[in-house]
Amino acid sequence: MAFPIQRIAFERARNDLALEIRLRLLPPDQGGRHQPISDGDRPHWKLGNTWLGRPTDNEGAIFLAGQATLTPGAEGPALLVPLI
Separation CA 78–CA 40 (nearest Å): 10
Task: Give me Rg for the CA atoms of the chain.
Answer: 14
Q: What percent of the chain has pLDDT over 90?
A: 39
32-68 pLDDT, tens digit per residue, is 999 999 998 988 777 778 889 988 888 888 999 888 9
For the chain, give every domain's residue range: 4-82
User: Collapsing DSSP states into helix, strand and coil, what is residue 44?
Assistant: strand
Q: Which CATH superfamily is domain 4-82 in?
A: Translation factors (2.40.30.10)
Q: What's the pTM value of the predicted model, to 2 decimals?
A: 0.68
